[in-house]
Structure 1
Amino acid sequence: MTTKMRSEIAEQPAALRATLDALLPRVDEVKGLAGGARQLVFIARGTSDNAAVYGRYLIEAHAGRLSSLAAPSIATTYKRKLDLGGVLAVALSQSGRTEEIVETLAWAKDCGASTVAITNGGEESPLAQAADLALCTVAGEEKAVPATKTYTTQLAALAVLALGLGADVDADDLQRVPDAVEALIADPGDLDAVVDGLAEVSGVVVSGRGMAFSTALETALKLKEACYLHAMGLSYADLLHGPIAVVDESTPALLIAAGEGPTLQGTVALARRVTGAGASAFGVGGGDELAAASTAALNGPALPEWVAPMGLIIPGQLVTEALARRRGIDPDSPRGLNKVTQTD
């Protein structure tokens, strides 16, 4: 039986095409609202927070604007007012109905920020209504609890946001993303070997750096919520500062990199260090070099680094779905989780 999660993974090329068709014509609207912003702050939780990490790296590396992740409790619990003049506040929520995120975006506007919502909940969602500009993704209804197509379309919306902020990238790269994702779904690489390597372990370290860091965090979250693994998502820079001690014969590493870019060589070196210590290193992306340094490898997208995260997450989603079934878990309905999470 095909799970809802597996079906929704397969729907991502179409969801990305629809989202890009809807949002690319709105680049000038983003520029008009946010072109003069000196700084960005991203407001999100969970999977959306992992998407925001991609937004942060993308905006800082390619649009030259300082970016940070908000602490919503400053608005909702501590109720402190900050000076957010000249700041663009970007709130991400798949449903657009998470009250904490809506409240924090309204707080940011009250503090002087211009506001953008990124949501799959539509123009009538509370989050879209609270924002100066809503970038609504076109992923369609997502029925499985683990987010797949709503996550990748959030990344697409963040890429459009970056274009509106003058990012020094080739906008035509975005048009290549749906086909690259489709190719990965058809041929993810050595999926069975990676699932075999994770089937009997209780923990795994998932690591990437720079643009791939968001993918490491999101992959770790998926393995935690749908496979009940103790999955630790880390930048490889942080991993080398001490937590690498947990990587051993019973705790493998999943190492993620785009096929180009300044973090690739560090990821390859880490794979060699892990396997040299007798542990398993499973590569995701990184081209032939990372694959050669790894115990087993999953394919990455044939995309430039700035858009690669939209493809790099696909192998992690496929591993999560297959591993959950291997461990006797229904990936569509993990225990203790709901599709919309409200936070006090």
Structure 2
Amino acid sequence: MCGIVAYVGEKEAYPIIISGLQKLEYRGYDSAGIALLNGGLNIYKKKGKVKELAELLEKEKEYLHSNIGIGHTRWATHGEPNDTNAHPHYSANKNMAIIHNGIIENYAALKQDLMSKGYKFRSDTDSEVFINLIEHIKNHEQCSLDEAVRLAMTQVVGAYAIVIISKEDSTQLVAARKGSPLVVGVGEGEYFLASDATPIVEHTKKVIYLNDQEIVVIRNGKLQIRTIEDLPITPYIQTLDLELSQIEKGGFPHFTLKEIFEQPKSLRDAMRGRINAEKNHLVLGGLIEYQQKLINADRIIILGCGTSWHAGLVGEYLFEEFARIPVEVEYASEFRYRNPVIREGDVVIAISQSGETADTLAAVELAKSKGAIIFGVCNVVGSSIPRATHAGAYIHAGPEIGVASTKAFTGQITVLTMMALIIGRAKGTITESKFQELITELTTIPDKVEYILHKVDSQIKYIAEEFKGARNFLYLGRGFNFPVALEGALKLKEISYIHAEGYPAAEMKHGPIALIDENMPVVFIAPKDSTYEKIVSNVQEIKARKGRIIAVVNEGDKEIKDLAEFTIEIPQTHEAFSPILTVIPLQLLSYYIATHLVDDVDKPRNLAKSVTVE
């Protein structure tokens, strides 16, 4: 949600920034802009896509020479999407400009105070309030820009990542963060700032992940970091484990399809170094120190939003099945606004692809304050949630650029599966022979996913062509595959804009059956598991009401095949691992339907990849 890119060094800033903004488009945005020191402090911004901004500036190219600049893609919070509200924003005297991700919660009071001091505002944004507050402090206190930023940080309430450029110093960028990610790339005599590493990796592999309430000052080729308390910080430089090829489409028409087809690799990467079925070995390094806490847990609370919440629902089945620990799965966005009962002995598992989801991060802080042990399951290395938790595990899915999460979902389930198996074995709730059987089967899952992708791809294209005109879908599953029904419906909604609902199949009779007629497509997730006979009855009920049935079944299924209009066959696996397989056809179905209806499947309207505001 929103994207930041900034550069200072000896190279031309504009090409680096515009290219960086294009790499951040996946985060979701509605306008884009750039500020350069090129004979003055000049801002160029426009509602719409980065491509439109680049086309606008093509005519100005000869005037865009600068070795320093900032760029931004905005996802509207305060003020409608338009040219005026787009970032960057000038300060009142136009000596400075700011780009800002996040929300300033007390902006209205700050704005009123500044207006009483004579400040006028050009936009409706909270970001312009922030830069004018910094300008006021700088002028009133007669202090440096970085000191003014530090003092302003003590007055603002909310979440932010900011970068500020000033025409007083053509070598200086000042940046700060609280609750919104910011990465510093360290090059040879040059520095990069960005919301995440994707715009940086082609220029340098050396990065610094800023912590909350830290300020970075880059001036005359040197970098300094200090805290809001004005204490110096020694920068910790890390090396990115990221290749440029990972953030390119690699011959696929969309990142979404590429990432669906990357799942055999991403699942193997999630297991690599952690599981060895021949030696009956399974370990998660991030779990070791706190493993006993999980073993002794009276209850596990799983927190997530969207797709991560669905993965958490699968996790509930996994932990209760294998570890016999009671589990509650909570929307992170609701958890923090209740007065949740968190007891000593409770363990909280926070799931987030980006590791920056604002609601999940806030819920983590709340749970920590009440004494819970927090485990993180995230994808992005160095992100905020892994740094806020006591322990955890990365899913190692690699960059996920498509806004609709695909490989992260299967990666999250895989890590949760390994956690549940480790704890179940340690507690003795699964036998050694059963443990051996399960981890042996788990290692076959990537190959089975690969088999599914190549077997059903053309069939699902045909089904998508048949149903591209439908305006409603119903997804039904039971047991481990009820969360898959929810996830399948969410994927279709996200990228095709078709209304879809997921339900437990047994609940269909308690309301949704009223919707069934000859125009309603119903997708059943129906592998041969412990609920199979029950779901056959549900299929018959839909068939009797002339619903159009698409069913995901195991190879060789005869019973449902005779009832359904379309069946998509997948290999058999253990019931607990089936969600990793059954979701693959649903991802493909959503993708191929969306290609008939949507201009850009990777960037669905109104959505953001990383939801860094509440």
Deviation at 1:343, TM superposition (A): 4.6
1:57 corresponds in structure 2 to: 317
1:267 and 1:279 map into 2 onto residues whose CA distance is: 15
Deviation at 1:321, TM superposition (A): 1.0
Per mean C-alpha deviation after superposition, the further-off stretch among 159-168 and 89-98 is: 159-168
Deviation at 1:63, TM superposition (A): 2.0
2:407 corresponds in structure 1 to: 149
1:205/1:247 contact within 8 Å kept: no
The correspondence for 1:268, drawn from 506, 523, 536, is 536
Structure of higher CA gyration radius: 2
Deviation at 1:23, TM superposition (A): 4.3
Deviation at 1:21, TM superposition (A): 1.3
Confirm or deny that 1:10 pairs with 2:278.
no
TM-score by length of 1: 0.93
1:34/1:165 contact within 8 Å kept: yes
2:300 and 2:592 map into 1 onto residues whose CA distance is: 37
1:319 corresponds in structure 2 to: 589
1:272/1:294 contact within 8 Å kept: no
Residues 33 and 269 (structure 1), Cα distance of their counterparts in 2 relative to 1, 3 Å cut = same
Look up the SS of the partner of 1:340 in the other structure: coil
2:361 corresponds in structure 1 to: 102
1:334 corresponds in structure 2 to: 604
1:12/1:181 contact within 8 Å kept: yes
Residues 242 and 75 (structure 1), Cα distance of their counterparts in 2 relative to 1, 3 Å cut = closer
1:227/1:329 contact within 8 Å kept: no
Kindly tell me the number of residue pairs found equivalent between the two proteins: 341
Deviation at 1:330, TM superposition (A): 2.3
1:72 corresponds in structure 2 to: 332
Residues 340 and 214 (structure 1), Cα distance of their counterparts in 2 relative to 1, 3 Å cut = same
Deviation at 1:319, TM superposition (A): 0.7
Per mean C-alpha deviation after superposition, the further-off stretch among 293-302 and 199-208 is: 293-302
Could you give the per-residue CA deviations for residues 154-193 of structure 1, whole angstroms, max 9, x where no partner exists? 1101101111220635222210110010000001273144
1:93 corresponds in structure 2 to: 352
2:554/2:571 contact within 8 Å kept: no
2:305/2:331 contact within 8 Å kept: no
Confirm or deny that 1:241 pairs with 2:500.
no
Look up the SS of the partner of 1:188 in the other structure: helix
Confirm or deny that 1:84 pairs with 2:354.
no
Look up the SS of the partner of 1:187 in the other structure: helix
Deviation at 1:311, TM superposition (A): 1.0
Per mean C-alpha deviation after superposition, the further-off stretch among 96-105 and 69-78 is: 69-78
1:338 and 1:83 map into 2 onto residues whose CA distance is: 31
Percent sequence identity is 28
Structure 1 unaligned segments of length 5 or more: list them.
none
2:483 corresponds in structure 1 to: 214
1:106 and 1:133 map into 2 onto residues whose CA distance is: 14
Q: Which amino acid aligns with 2:517?
A: D
Could you give the per-residue CA deviations for residues 264-305 of structure 1, whole angstroms, max 9, x where no partner exists? 112222222212221111001244133332110112233111
CA RMSD between the two structures: 1.9
The correspondence for 2:470, drawn from 201, 214, 217, is 201
Q: 5 Å matches for 1:168-207?
A: 168=430, 170-188=438-456, 190-207=459-476
Deviation at 1:327, TM superposition (A): 2.2
Deviation at 1:228, TM superposition (A): 0.8
2:340 and 2:461 map into 1 onto residues whose CA distance is: 51
Q: Which amino acid aligns with 1:106?
A: E
Could you give the per-residue CA deviations for residues 140-165 of structure 1, whole angstroms, max 9, x where no partner exists? 11111111111110110110111122
**Where is the helix percentage greater, Structure 1 or Structure 2?**
1
1:19 corresponds in structure 2 to: 270
2:269/2:396 contact within 8 Å kept: yes
Could you give the per-residue CA deviations for residues 27-58 of structure 1, whole angstroms, max 9, x where no partner exists? 76263341111111111000100111100112
1:301/1:312 contact within 8 Å kept: no
Per mean C-alpha deviation after superposition, the further-off stretch among 188-197 and 278-287 is: 188-197
1:73 and 1:308 map into 2 onto residues whose CA distance is: 28
Q: Which amino acid aligns with 1:298?
A: I
1:48 and 1:295 map into 2 onto residues whose CA distance is: 31
2:553 corresponds in structure 1 to: 285
Deviation at 1:198, TM superposition (A): 1.9
Could you give the per-residue CA deviations for residues 64-105 of structure 1, whole angstroms, max 9, x where no partner exists? 111111243565334x36332111100000000112211211
1:67 and 1:81 map into 2 onto residues whose CA distance is: 14
TM-score by length of 2: 0.53
**Where is the strand percentage greater, Structure 1 or Structure 2?**
2
Confirm or deny that 1:138 pairs with 2:407.
no
2:464 and 2:297 map into 1 onto residues whose CA distance is: 45
2:55 corresponds in structure 1 to: none
Look up the SS of the partner of 1:186 in the other structure: helix
Deviation at 1:221, TM superposition (A): 0.2
2:567 corresponds in structure 1 to: 297
1:252 corresponds in structure 2 to: 521
Deviation at 1:216, TM superposition (A): 0.5
Per mean C-alpha deviation after superposition, the further-off stretch among 30-39 and 310-319 is: 30-39
1:86 and 1:32 map into 2 onto residues whose CA distance is: 11
Look up the SS of the partner of 1:308 in the other structure: helix
